[in-house]
Amino acid sequence: MSSLLKHGKKALKGYLDIDDDKHKKKGKNRQEHTMSYYGGGVNYPLGNQPFPQSQQQAPPPPYQHHGHVHPMPQPPPVPQPYQLYQQESQHYGRYGQYYTNSVFNVNAWEAYQYRQPSDLETVFRKEMEKNPENALRGAIQAEDLMNVLNNTPSIRNFYRLNWSREMCSIMIAMLDRSQDGFMQWAEFLELQQCLVAWYNVFCQHDFDRSGFIDAAELIRVIKQLFGYQIEPQTLETILKRYSRVVPPGGRCIIAFDDFVALSVRLRAYTDAFRKRDCMAHGGGETGTCSMGYDDFLRCVLCL
């Protein structure tokens, strides 16, 4: 652990030294990274809303269950307003703009080499209909998401990763705005957009194609690309939690599944804290909030 902390601090110091030389004024004149993502074809109707899939899509066609035709159950309404968290923040950074400008423009169905967008929805519905409880809610659970990611050939071949139930649980929790423990189609679609975008970012920083990125690159992605406003001490904690030390020279490296877990938790925890900050300060943001013990447990135990 001492070796990890030593090399983590070295990577962090190197990043901060470079950042200070290039950017004397914090938050100004920072050159945005232009990333290339899959999906230059048909775009989903995102508009200017933060999560318009669940708000603007036309009612889905009926589906068959046990030989009977039923209307597709409608998901609960998305809690409002979420658009606030997509805006740049003095205290929390500009991570929301990254999702709006990059992630929500990804066409996951193209990344998985499907012929049309409805093919991905067909995968979701087939898994949903295996469980009558899921079919009644028009949603899937963690085990179902794990089956989709691990057993759908086009998705499995894209990531070449064995997804665990625990990982699928935290991914559902990140997008579970209805707080029912289920994942509706709109949430599933957004998750696929996130995963494809994160995978492309990871591959672009995996320069030796080893399946890992180093600590300095992880820090650069978190601060410059994702745009989180995070202090050096917190970055050290992230490195200790999500990286591993390998030879030669005790390098700190991060695997893709750890990168996904970190990306999920950063977004979910930041949104949760920011929401409470706004509620406690009349819609404004101070970077602080007071949390009760039970409220704290609800935030952290779901992830």
- The per-residue pLDDT for 72 is 55
Q: What one-character-per-residue DSSP string does 65-113 give?
A: ETTEEEPPPPPPPPPS--GGGGS-BTTTBSHHHHHHHTGGG--HHHHTT
Q: What is the distance of C-alpha 43 from the center of its chain?
A: 19
Strands 183-184 and 212-214: unpaired
CB 252 within 8 A of CB 4: yes
Q: Rounded CA gap, 270 and 99, in Å? A: 14
Q: For residue 227, what pLDDT is reported?
A: 94
pLDDT exceeds 90 at position 147 = yes
CB 116 within 8 A of CB 135: no
Is pLDDT of 228 > 80?
Answer: yes
DSSP helix/strand/coil, 13? helix
What are the pLDDT digits (tens) for 190-215?
A: 999 999 999 999 999 998 889 999 99
Contact status, residue 129 vs residue 62, Cβ threshold 8 Å: no
Could you tell me which residues come within 8 angstroms of residue 252 by beta carbon, excluding any fewer than 6 positions away? 4, 7, 8, 11, 214, 215, 239, 243, 244, 245
Identity (one letter) of the amino acid at 284? G
Residue 96 buriedness (CB in 10 A; 0-12 / 13-18 / 19+): buried
Average pLDDT of the segment spanning 209-237: 93
- Name which residue leads in pLDDT, 58 or 14: 14
Residue-wise pLDDT for 182-191, tens only, equals: 999 999 999 9
pLDDT at position 49 over 70: no
**Does the global pTM surpass 0.85?**
no
More confident site: 277 or 32? 277
**Per-residue pLDDT averaged across 79-102, rounded?**
76
Sorting pLDDT into bands at 50, 70 and 90, what band is 86?
confident
